[in-house]
Chains A and B, each alone.
Chain A
Amino acid sequence: MLKKCFFLALVSGLSAGVASIVYASVYSSSMGVDFSKIVKPSGLVGASEFGTLLAAAGYFLGSKFLKANTDAVFNILFLLLTFASCVGPFATNLPVTVSNPELFPGYVIPMHFFPFMLWVVMKPFFMKPDTASAD
């Protein structure tokens, strides 16, 4: 279980990182802004990996207590935490040399959702659907 959680976190984190890099590139070119010095591509992958590894630890610990309800509770909790994390970009102070800081939340907030989305998408490849909850 722990091994599956770890690999799910690794793959979904990496996928979320790649999705973030693609989104960052599209956003930057279409909006004419450059936040690459604030958020580096390696940072995007690192942050995504950190998020999913943290989620994996939470999922593993939660499964010990929640049993068949793990997925339902975990998904709600993961989504709520993702929403809560969106406050951060609004409060971030960028260097004054960076133009258009008002476009920064639109740049990073969608990225906050990628780890959750990729976790949900990738999970069936690593863990079989919970038969207990299906009954």
Chain B
Amino acid sequence: MKKLLVPIAFAAVMTLSAFAAVNSMDWRIVDGYNIAFTSKDPSGVFKTMHGDISFDPNNLDASKFNVSVDVNSINTGNGMRNNKAKGEKFFDADKYPNITFVSTKMMKTPSGFETKGTLTMHGVQKEITIPFTFANNTFAGSFSVNRLDYGVGDDKGMSAHVSKDLRIDISVPVAKK
């Protein structure tokens, strides 16, 4: 009986430690995050996001981002412009309430990391690559999107004055789950 107990205990310890390792990769988004977009006109922020983040710098194959931004939380600093952005001509927040990013691959780069994945905005899916860093339990990254690629607004009339390329700056503090 004693001979049996030792391998069982060993297997139990190994199994539990494996779970512990997986758990240490899971992060929850904490307050203080910032999703800002900048262009000549307009600039602003999205104030609400949520999602699942699994990230281990030493095990990028097992890392994954699945995050979502609430379109209705857009704030450009101007109420009329917010309503216009949420309206049918641009994000159409009633029909497409979220902007999502689901990663498919993570890579290490000289300056940090890079994630490839699918950005879904306004019902349009595009593969994009986002460079990012991870330091002090905070993810930070910047990339650009062309709103016309996602059918957000058009290039006619007054919409032509809205910048096509927007720089997105993301800073997301996290805590271990």
Contacts and interface: CB of A to CB of B under 8 A. Distances in A.
A99 B75 contact: yes
A100 B44 CA distance: 13
B59 interface: no
B77 interface: yes
Given A96-B44, A96-B45, A103 B76 contact: no
A62 interface: no
Contact of B76 (A90, A91, A93, A99): A93
A99 B79 CA distance: 10
A104 B81 CA distance: 13
Interface string B55-85: 0000000000000000000011111111100
B99 to A, nearest CB: 17
Interface string B26-58: 000000000010000001110100000000000
Contact of A95 (B77, B81, B83): B77
Contact of A93 (B36, B78, B83): B78
A104 B36 CA distance: 21
Nearest to A104: B79
Size range of the chain B interface in the assembly: 10 to 19
A102 B76 contact: no
Contacts of B75: 96, 99, 101
B82 A94 contact: no
A102 B43 CA distance: 16
Interface in B118-171: none
Contacts of B82: 101-102
A90 B77 contact: no
Interface string A101-131: 1111100000000000000000000000000
Contacts of A94: 77-78
Contacts of A95: 77
A68 interface: no
Nearest to B42: A93
13 contacts: A91-B78, A92-B78, A96-B36, A96-B44, A96-B45, A96-B77, A98-B77, A101-B75, A101-B76, A101-B77, A101-B79, A102-B82, A103-B79
Interface of A: 90-96, 98-105
- Which are the 7 A-B pairs with shortest beta-carbon distances? A102-B79, A94-B77, A93-B77, A101-B79, A96-B45, A96-B77, A93-B78
